[in-house]
Amino acid sequence: MDKAMAYIDKLAAKLGVAAEHVYGVLVKQSYVFGIINIIVGAILLAGFAVLLRLNYLIIAKGESPSWGEEETIYYKLREVGCGMLFIVIIIVTILAVIFGMVALFSGIMQALNPEYYAIKEIIDTIGGK
């Protein structure tokens, strides 16, 4: 903790401001990062809902190729294309929910306790991590 305070004092001396001002700026910045993470997480989770609906429409409304005279390469390619689209949408859906949850939880923690993340940033800077 002494190293952290020494770092803040050195940084404040170089900037020509009080150490309390530097710490206050770091706390406000951590709070802003928290709000941004909450917004990004909410957008990703909303995207997850849209992608989930799109997956349902592909599965429920998907048309099977004709088995009569019209069975051509076109229908087979369309079937493969829909299958690939389905796989891509599933992967993007899974990634959206994972990143959305991580961003949302991280944002909530930063918004509720910005002082911890300000001190953590100072310690990480000192430790070189």
**Segments in the chain forming alpha helices (H):** 2-15, 19-61, 73-112, 114-127
Domain-by-domain residue ranges, the chain? 2-127
Give the model confidence (pLDDT) of 95-125 as tens digits: 888 998 999 999 999 999 988 888 888 777 7
Residue among 102, 98, 97, 114 at smallest CA distance from 34: 114
Please compute the mean of the pLDDT values over residues 11-20 and round it to a whole number.
Answer: 67
Cα–Cα distance for residue pair 34/93, rounded to 1 Å? 23
How many other C-beta atoms can be found within 10 angstroms of the C-beta atom of residue 70?
A: 9
pTM over 0.85: no
Please compute the mean of the pLDDT values over residues 75-91 and round it to a whole number.
Answer: 67
